[in-house]
Amino acid sequence: MRIRFKHGLTDLSNSLVRGERALALALALAGMLVANAQERTNKGGVQSEIVPDWENPQMIGKNKLPYHSTLQLPSREGACKEIRSLDGRWRFHWAKDPQSRPADFYRSDYDVSGWDFITVPGNWQMQGYGKPIYTNIPFPFKSDQPRVTSEPPRDWYAYDHRNPVGSYVTDFTVSEDELKQNIILHFGGVKSAMYVWVNGKEVGYSQNPMSPAEFDVTRYLHAGSNRLAVEVYRWSDGSYLEDQDMWRLSGIYRPVQLWIRPLQHMADYTITAVPSADFSRADVKGKVMLCNLSTKAAKGMTLRMKFGNLSMERRVDLLKAKDTIAVELAKTLERPRLWSSEKPNLYDVSVELMDAQGKVLEHFDTHFGVRKVEVRGEVMKVNGRNVKLRGVNRHDHHPRTGRYVDAATLEKDVRLMKQANINFLRTSHYPDMPFLYELCDRYGIYVMDEACQESHGYGIGNKIIGDNPLWVKAHVDRARSLVERDKNHPSIIIWSLGNEGGAGQCLKAMYDTVCALDSTRLPFSDSDRRYSAIYDDSYLPPDKLEQEAKRISDRPFIMREYGHAMGNSMGNLKEYWDVINADSSIVGAAIWDWVDQGIAKPIDGSALRPSSSLQLQSDEFWAYGGDFGDKPNDGNFVLNGLIGPDRTPHPHYYEVQYFYQPIDFKRVEDKVHLINRD
């Protein structure tokens, strides 16, 4: 008999798109099936199995706040008085499986003074706990969805490390005045699942590791020192949707923050700027969710969005206590400067909420761009012009800090892309660090923003996950979190439902969710083409690409992946781009991939050296799959970038730079024609 830990189910309808009755019925049925599975009994009436949250596809979170946009530009967070960083050195304990973890470590009186320290943000494998595992397609644990602790082969790392658990503890102070406000705990990314406690009280639970998780912790705090405890599981049922071709790393790997907010505040805002048919003007609209958490109604507040010499302003006569309302603003912008990869014109915006006396309660900095993305027949257009997406796929990877990538390295990546004439980035295969999107807005790079959804271990287009009602809720959650966080970035022109995943009702639910949330961008799916505005077929040789693009006549064509940049590669780029440039229905293609995912490992086998440095030391080498004794692994297949882990360009980087040039010349009789494909 296997006894597990039980936690309750959340409301099945939290993430549903309004009006989808068929989907609601499917989810209700799924909930009944899960409930029945949880209450399985033997003939004597004794419960034989209790399912933990982290092996239950219906449990995606408890007490999490709704997803919302990145309220403050990442580059301006230092100027935001509401944000307090909790990053730094935390106490840490690592256990090889759930049974070995310190189950009651979250108690306020639990002594952690003898524990090690770990750096947050960061992956625990990069700091000496457990092993990094690199696999492309195979799950690194026994494939038995939704379970992740079934018995794998004896020689696998997971055999004796069935589901490692990291226990984190840190302390922070809060003042009496701050307790009178609303205090939000923000996690930028935690992989794969986590429980959160404050001062010994359980706050909540979260999966969906590549998107933020937020909790209202106001009621759990007291003046003075407070204790935060986080329990992180390496694997969860969500890991079946996280089967990306990358190092499998875990932990609190993105920043942790406290947001200390006024009781009346902006919970979310959306800015759209849609140009007219002739691009002579643009309708700029703002939608702000205003929240009042006090026990008294707020009267006479003013909401303002200001950009340049223009502003949109709205008086809010009444915001009832404990209420949230949507406030809409609008302005017509004459002769707008359009945003494109070639000319990334941005309008800087201040978003402010003021009380009845004109005092600023909240201020955020953001920007918007005016641009139009559409499909006309077989052609994709940006601002009415045909575009060619000269692309690359990119993972968040640093050779010393793993999945956490510092701001300087993010900007180095984007600058190197622009220098190589790359104008298109696919965030393979999850939402990236928020600062990356701000950089793409500023530098001018089109983005396919991708949901964290890949179940490749069951096959592309599989029904086991993709058409299973038990998994609909998790798919929808990952689609919603993608759009809600990144919706204000003009660089994003395509929403991807994920990569190499399932097909069926789960993909349809993702598609319906994305389309309901945002109609200004194109939805994309490689695994279920019914739910994609662009047809994808990847790794085709040039002649096959030409044939397939001609055969597909109902939409544009793209290769989301091609030109596998491993070893002595990129030799036939000319042949590819002769085909792509000759056919207006081919949108473009994205090379696999950007950076070698090597890890800087000492030759003598001593501990890794986490730091922000990209440089390889003389006594280190670039490690790949298997170099840590990790099994299963896919060896050096993780080293297939245009640049090295230290961001040094490989020779084929310059091949890409040459053939990705947007400028071409053509001689016609006695004239030379200049061609701009940007």
Question: Average pLDDT of the chain?
Answer: 93
Among the listed residues 500, 546, 620, 655, the single catalytic one is: 500
How distant, in Å, are the alpha carbons of 88, 116, 230, 501 from that of 170? 9, 12, 9, 37
| DSSP H or E segment with residue 269 | strand 264-275
pLDDT recorded at residue 673: 87
**What is the predicted pLDDT for the residue at 279?**
97
pLDDT in tens, 389-408: 999 999 999 999 999 999 99
> What are 449's two structure tokens?
């923003």
Q: pLDDT tens across 96-122, in order?
A: 999 999 999 999 999 999 999 999 999
pLDDT digits (tens, 9 = 90+) for 490-529: 999 999 999 999 999 999 999 999 999 999 999 999 999 9
pLDDT at 14 over 50: no
Res. 11: pLDDT tops 60: no
Residue 166's H or E segment, with its range, is strand 165-174
- pLDDT tens by residue, 255-305: 999 999 999 999 999 999 999 999 999 999 999 999 999 999 999 999 999
How many Å separate Cα 160 from the centre of its chain?
31
What whole-number distance in Å separates Cα of residue 314 and Cα of residue 305? 9
pLDDT grade for 42, boundaries at 50, 70 and 90: very low
79: Cβ–Cβ under 8 A, 6 or more apart, which residues?
Answer: 365
Choosing from 20, 438, 561, 655, which is the catalytic residue? 561
Percent of the chain surpassing pLDDT 90: 90
Radius of gyration of the chain (CA): 25
How do residues 570-614 score in pLDDT, each as one tens digit? Answer: 999 999 999 999 999 999 999 999 999 999 999 999 999 999 999
Supply 651's token pair. 């020779």
- What the block records as the tokens of 412 is 């180095």
Phi, psi for residue 59 in degrees, rounded to 5: -95, 105
Phi-psi region of 475 (alpha: psi -120 to 50; beta: other; left: phi over 0): alpha
Catalytic site includes residue 500: yes
Is residue 207 pLDDT above 90, yes or no? yes
Assess contact for 427 and 449: CB atoms under 8 A: yes
Distance of CA 307 to the CA centre of its chain: 28
Closest CA to 252 of 124, 146, 152: 124
Residue 46: pLDDT band (50, 70, 90) is very low
Contact 192, 250 (CB under 8 A): yes
Q: Is the pLDDT of residue 170 over 50?
A: yes
Q: Distance between CA atoms of 534 and 524, rounded to whole angstroms?
A: 6
- pLDDT recorded at residue 664: 86
Mean pLDDT over 73-80 rounds to 94
CA distances from 239 to 27, 457, 463 (A): 21, 11, 17
Contact 366, 340 (CB under 8 A): no
DSSP string, 593-658: -SB---EEEETT------SS--PPPTTEEEE-TTTTS-SS--GGGG---SB-TT-PBPHHHHHHHH
Here the contacts of 305-314 (C-beta below 8 Å, separation 24 or greater) are 305/271, 305/329, 305/349, 305/350, 305/351, 305/352, 306/349, 306/350, 306/352, 307/347, 307/348, 307/349, 307/350, 307/368, 308/347, 308/348, 312/284, 312/286
- Burial label, 609 (beta-carbon count in 10 A; 0-12, 13-18, 19+): middle
**Which pLDDT does position 49 carry in this prediction?**
67
235 in helix, strand or coil? coil
Assess whether pLDDT exceeds 60 at residue 29. no
Distance of CA 481 to the CA centre of its chain: 8
Here the tokens at position 110 are 């639990």
Query: Over pLDDT 70: what percentage of the chain?
Result: 93
Residue 112 token pair: 């952690």
Q: How far apart, in whole angstroms, are the C-alpha atoms of residue 293 and residue 638? A: 48
Q: Is 320 left (phi over 0), alpha (psi -120 to 50) or beta?
A: beta
Q: Is the peptide bond before 66 cis (omega within 30 degrees of 0)?
A: no
Which one, of 270, 674, 328, lies nearest residue 490 by Cα?
Answer: 270
pLDDT band with cut points at 50, 70 and 90 for residue 678: confident
> Per mean pLDDT, which range of 220-229, 417-426, 647-656, 666-675 is the poorest?
666-675
* pTM for this prediction: 0.92
Q: What is the mean pLDDT of residues 235-247?
A: 98
| Contacts of 463 by beta carbon, 8 Å cutoff, 6+ apart | 502, 503, 504
For residue 26, is it left (φ>0), alpha (ψ between -120 and 50) or beta? alpha
Residues 612 and 412: their CA atoms lie apart, in Å, by 13
378 token code pair: 């077989």
Cα–Cα distance between 85 and 107 in angstroms, integer? 23
- 214 a catalytic residue: no
Q: Any idea what DSSP says for residue 422?
A: -
Dmax over Cα atoms in the chain, in whole Å? Answer: 94
Q: Name which of 599, 605, 621 is nearest 247 in CA terms.
A: 599
Question: E-strand spans in 433-491?
Answer: 446-450
pLDDT single digits (tens) 315-356: 999 999 999 999 999 999 999 999 999 999 999 999 999 999
Order of strands, edge to edge, in the sheet holding 360-368? 310-319, 298-307, 347-354, 360-368
* Cα–Cα distance for residue pair 380/451, rounded to 1 Å: 21
pLDDT at residue 220 above 80? yes
- Quote the distance between the C-alpha of residue 620 and its chain's center: 31
Residue 10 pLDDT more than 50? no
Helix (H, G, I), strand (E, B) or coil at 433: coil
The pLDDT of residue 7: 35
- Per-residue model confidence (pLDDT) at position 240: 98
